[in-house]
């Protein structure tokens, strides 16, 4: 019985953990959007500002002003093998979304996707109502910073 329990522990330790199979690459936001294809389908960490897009969508942005759609794993097909980490960073982001005059920054971790045309498709391929050609499927937010902009 002890041997079976030991074997189970070893197997659990060696089994790949869900969503953690790939170590995310840290990238500067402007480098990410300017060389998007280089990071397509990769797990990344990027420091960015949360920004409101069209039709109640949210995205990431920086001083280079090329927004990237921000989505949750359950909202994309096929679903990734990870879920959003429920932590203080996520809580602060959700709070900032509901508030006015708040700026939110953080280190966003997730899978970076670039819209690709399939053969026979015409026109520009984009994600969401905001029509972004890039999206980040969110896994985690670290180093969250919620800044309240004072009234004049």
d(CA 42, CA 38): 9
pTM above 0.95, yes or no: no
Residue 77: predicted pLDDT:
86
How many CB atoms neighbour CB 38 within 10 A?
13
* Count, residues in the chain: 152
Contact 82, 74 (CB under 8 A): no
What is the topology classification, in CATH, of domain 22-116+124-148?
OB fold (Dihydrolipoamide Acetyltransferase, E2P) (2.40.50)
Identify the bridge partners of residue 69 per DSSP, sorted by sequence position. Answer: 59, 135
Sequence-distant (6+) residues with CB within 8 A of 114 are 36, 37, 39, 40, 41, 133, 134
Chunked into runs of 10 residues, the chain (152 residues) has average pLDDT values of: 38 41 90 97 97 93 94 92 96 95 97 81 78 96 95 82
d(CA 76, CA 106): 22
d(CA 106, CA 121): 36
Residue 123: predicted pLDDT:
63
Residue 119: predicted pLDDT:
56
Residue 5: predicted pLDDT:
38
> What SS3 class is residue 110?
strand
* Per-domain boundaries in the chain: 22-116+124-148
């Amino acid at each position: 019985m002890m041997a079976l329990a030991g074997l189970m522990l070893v197997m659990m330790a060696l089994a790949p953990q869900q969503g953690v199979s790939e170590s995310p690459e840290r990238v500067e936001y402007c480098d990410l959007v300017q060389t998007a294809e280089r990071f397509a389908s990769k797990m990344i960490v990027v420091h960015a500002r949360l920004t409101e897009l069209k039709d109640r969508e949210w995205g990431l942005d920086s001083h280079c002003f090329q927004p990237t759609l921000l989505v949750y794993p359950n909202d994309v097909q096929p679903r990734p093998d990870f879920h959003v980490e429920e932590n203080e960073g996520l809580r602060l982001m959700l709070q900032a979304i509901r508030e006015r005059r708040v700026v939110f920054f953080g280190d966003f971790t997730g899978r970076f996707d670039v819209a690709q045309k399939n053969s026979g498709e015409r026109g520009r391929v984009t994600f969401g109502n905001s029509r972004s050609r890039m999206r980040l499927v969110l896994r985690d937010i670290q180093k969250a910073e919620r800044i309240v902009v004072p009234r004049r």
